[in-house]
Amino acid sequence: MQFDGDLVEIRFGAGLSPLQPRPASAEQMLTRLQGADEMAQRFPVSSLEDAAAGVREFRRLSKDRKRQEGQRGYEAADKAFKSYRRAHNLARFGWHGQRLLRHVHARDGFRERLALFWADHFTAQGKSPAMRVLAAPYAESVIRPHVAGRFEDMLIAAATSPLMLHYLDQNRSAGPGSRVAKRRKRLSGLNENLAREVLELHTLGAGGPYSQADVRQLAELFTGLTVSREAAFIYRPGMAEPGAETVLGESYGGGKAELEQVLSALRDLARHPATAQHIAWKLAVHFTSDTPEPALISHLSARYQESGGALLPVYAALLEHPAAWETDLRNVKPPFDFVASACRALAVPEARIAALRPGQINRLLLAPLTPMGQRWEFSGGPDGWPEEDGTWITPQALAARLRWAMAVPRRLAQPLPDPRVFASAALGRFANERVQFAAGAAETQAEAVGLILSSPAFQRR
Amino acid sequence: MQLTRRSLLTRSALLGCSLAASPLVTPVSFAAAPWDTRLVVIILRGGMDALDVVQPYGDPEFAGLRQSLSGGPAAGAGDLDGFYALHPALAPLQPLWRQGELGFVQAVSTPYRDRRSHFDGQDLLEAGTAGLGEASGGWLNRLLQQMPGVEARTAFAIGQERMLLLEGAAPVSQWAPGAGLAMSPQAERLAGLLMEEDPLFHNALNEALELTRQDMSLGGLDGAEDDAGAGMMDLMKAPKGGAHTGIAAYAADQLRGDTRVAAFSINGWDTHFRQASGLKAALGRLAETILELRQGVGPDIWGRTAVAAVTEFGRTARENGTGGTDHGTGGAMLLAGGAIRGGRVLGRWPGLAEADLYDRRDLKPTGDVRSYLAWLLHGVSGAGTAALQANVFPGLDMGGDPGLLL
């Protein structure tokens, strides 16, 4: 295998940048991945814990406003709530700008890609106005610290995070025989949503070796995982179903209800061979093509099993396999990656993003993702975004990409680069003859830049 | 290949010719539509709770299974026939029921069993096969492959979402209302050149340009666009809430012309928690969508329109501990339109006693949703039952004709 700096930055990284040298070797990429998360330090995003404090304040002010209804203090309470709600929602735009800047400036673009990949694998979304902004803080605290670690640690972090528990309705699930249920509280019963998605999406995969009985048993085992009034994770033994549960033939608990039993089941699921296969397949699809080579999948799966789910060796297996180095560009970049890699190619200055008001960030960089088919942080379901190229390049979504590429770059990079220079900055050795021709034949500089970004050579990786 | 401006001009002239000759851009008014009746298929993603939508309040077990989600006329549902009642959020559709323009099939499902995954369930519903991975593409596309005179405008997938049921070898159109693309003629040509060798991009671009022209002629977009900057940004606003009515209005526009099939989806049926509010909102969107379609096509075409709304599976018969329901098996399908023989709830009722449930938890399916769809396609398009059973829904036994259409 010939290490190819242009290809590696496009396929495994955040795209080519005029500011950053290409990685020199796979070893260098893996070493950087083990080092400090430079971009998270330079462009911070709130932690889940800090953001949860915001959720509490949101709820407090909302409750206060309700209490004041019809009374003299209502106007002030209403004003306080609305101004807080505005700031709360606008924070999301600021975090979006920070995450884009990470893509622009990253030396280890592979980390940015992996952070996106795993946040999508463990999709979690807020379903109430107070919780709706938490997706970025969730990715920051739950996903990012584990991308170069062990899969089981990431699984446990996700399955016990307040956002996931809220998203998949686990927070209210109580065992029918639990103490809480015996007190006949309203809404005290089992909900199997999280258990099902952990098996189907997060670990074994939809075709995996589990049955409805396993779903049910895991749901019973999960009872007690919930969210405190302070919007933090808490294990409440009083909600846990008494007795042992059997998941995939393995028995858990039986004595006093304890969190450790749940974690132990999650670890076993993480180490299951079907999980290795499922994760290997997902990585191969994401980084190579919609129909990855079976040899690559088995190579990754074998490494996953050898490493006990340690992820760095799996990434090393990916970077060493010839199937990952096919030189034709295949996968279509999803909308976020398209916009982020365009910003990277344009070398959008930090000061430019900093100068944008939150509403402008939304208008230029976030809202346009929706007509491209990706309402960012609100995928249609817990399975996250699709990988198939055809789902992204529909007439309406391609039109949205072209509209963005023609209109927005001039607002982000002033002056726009010379199109011929930009073609090779953005595409390196993939700037083919058609791209170079279009760069020179367009009527305006903005159209030329837009056309370069619209070329299949830029939109595929 | 050496490209020069001269060769570009020649190439784009060629491209221009081939575009004009392509079925995508043949003026629709010259085409002969392959049949007359309009079909709208709505995929209800998330697993709609049949028992809450078409409430079998006459079943002695029903009240016991649904304690906080109480149902029946006593809880505000509209009585349909003394046994079933309609969820109050569908009350705007009650007049259609009375006119025989609304009907249901209860206790149906695809052959998908036991795993209860939305995504596999939807894939199977849209593939129309007995098992997963048995065919690529979807049943609605395979119907088009059977019919003479089909062109890209015959069938439309509308909205941003993927519609597997229309994927396949037959040409179809897809678009989201208001998604237009305005570029200078030179930029259009160069974009065409850039994408020419990549069929995925090239086809999507040609469609986008053509549909933009159509949108503009419908007055959907402001065509005058000289400062690309400002105008383009206006086009880039994300669709607001109420997208479902925009989609329905766009579908109606197409169906008034030569389009015969429109498919889109309505999401929000996955009601694990506090179903009462979640289902109410989703049913409200469904009712608005149907009424918008009816108004949009006008009385004449509505009389020749059949709407079918289907979901990947039903939900548990018993309410769960959080005021919701979990993934189940048997579900309901909704039929509407002036072409429908409505005012009836079809399907054999299996009963709700524990022993009658599927797996002791779900409504037991007593019919295959595909056979109702197949009879619907037969009635709408005239496709033969042999072709429907062999090709459109491979291996399906359609059984007796339920007489869905007038």
Question: Given this model, what pLDDT does residue B29 score?
Answer: 45
Question: Given this model, what pLDDT does residue B218 score?
Answer: 55
Strand runs labelled E in B19-61:
38-45, 54-55
- Can you tell me the mean pLDDT for A220-229? 96
Q: How do residues A188-220 score in pLDDT, each as one tens digit?
A: 689 999 999 999 999 999 999 999 999 999 999
Asked if the ipTM is above 0.90, the reply is yes
The minimum CA-CA distance between A13 and chain B, rounded to whole Å, is 23
Q: How do residues A20-39 score in pLDDT, each as one tens digit?
A: 999 999 999 999 999 999 99
Does A251 touch chain B if contact means CB atoms closer than 8 Å?
no
Question: Given this model, what pLDDT does residue B17 score?
Answer: 38
- Can you tell me the mean pLDDT for A437-444? 91
- Can you tell me the mean pLDDT for A174-182? 91
For residue B197, list chain A residues with Cβ-Cβ distance below 8 A.
434, 456
Q: How do residues A66-84 score in pLDDT, each as one tens digit?
A: 999 999 999 999 999 999 9
The minimum CA-CA distance between B190 and chain A, rounded to whole Å, is 6
Residue B2 in this model has a pLDDT that exceeds 60: no
Q: How many CB atoms lie within 10 A of CB A432?
A: 16
What band does A367 get if pLDDT is binned at 50, 70 and 90?
A: very high
Query: Kindly report the CA angle at A21 between A15 and A24, in degrees rounded to 5?
Result: 95
Residue B37 in this model has a pLDDT that exceeds 50: yes
The minimum CA-CA distance between B235 and chain A, rounded to whole Å, is 8
Most A CBs within 10 Å, among B5, B200, B202, to test the A interface: B200
Question: Given this model, what pLDDT does residue B217 score?
Answer: 62
Determine the residue of chain A that is closest to B163 in CA distance.
A391
Average pLDDT, chain B: 87
Q: Kind of pairing, strands B345-346 and B102-109?
A: parallel
Cα separation values, A165 from A140, A168, B292, Å: 17, 6, 37
What band does A449 get if pLDDT is binned at 50, 70 and 90?
A: very high
Nearest to B190 among A363, A442, A446 (CB): A442
Determine the residue of chain B that is closest to A454 in CA distance.
B191
Q: How do residues B40-50 score in pLDDT, each as one tens digit?
A: 999 999 999 99
Question: Given this model, what pLDDT does residue B26 score?
Answer: 41
Exposed e or buried b for every residue in A254-265, given b needs 16+ CB within 10 A? eeebebebbbeb
Q: How do residues B326-364 score in pLDDT, each as one tens digit?
A: 999 999 999 999 999 999 999 999 999 999 999 999 999
Which of A61-65, B144-148, B183-187 shows the lowest mean pLDDT across its residues? B183-187
Question: Which tops the pLDDT comparison, A344 or B19?
Answer: A344
Determine the residue of chain B that is closest to A168 in CA distance.
B272
Chain B, 195 to 214: residues with Cβ < 8 Å from chain A are 195-198, 200-201, 204-205, 207-208, 211-212
Q: How do residues A87-118 score in pLDDT, each as one tens digit?
A: 999 999 999 999 999 999 999 999 999 999 99
Does A442 touch chain B if contact means CB atoms closer than 8 Å?
yes
Residues 6+ apart with CB under 8 A from A400: A368, A371, A372, A373, B179, B236
Question: Given this model, what pLDDT does residue A186 score?
Answer: 60
Token duo for residue B318: 């018993």
- Can you tell me the mean pLDDT for A122-137? 95
Question: Given this model, what pLDDT does residue A187 score?
Answer: 57
Token duo for residue B389: 């059973």
Which of A42-46, A149-153, A180-184, B54-58 shows the lowest mean pLDDT across its residues? A180-184
Question: Given this model, what pLDDT does residue B313 score?
Answer: 97
Question: Given this model, what pLDDT does residue B184 score?
Answer: 84
Which of B46-55, B187-196, B228-237 shows the lowest mean pLDDT across its residues? B228-237
- Can you tell me the mean pLDDT for A143-158? 98
- Can you tell me the mean pLDDT for A49-53? 95
Residue B242 in this model has a pLDDT that exceeds 90: no
Does A380 touch chain B if contact means CB atoms closer than 8 Å?
yes
H or E segment and range at residue A252: strand A250-253
| C-beta of residue A377 within 8 angstroms of C-beta of residue A116 | no
Question: Given this model, what pLDDT does residue B177 score?
Answer: 84
A456 to B194: CB separation less than 8 angstroms, yes or no? yes
- Can you tell me the mean pLDDT for B115-134? 91
Going by the DSSP 8-state scheme, the letter that residue A171 receives in this structure is: G
Question: Which tops the pLDDT comparison, A458 or B214?
Answer: A458
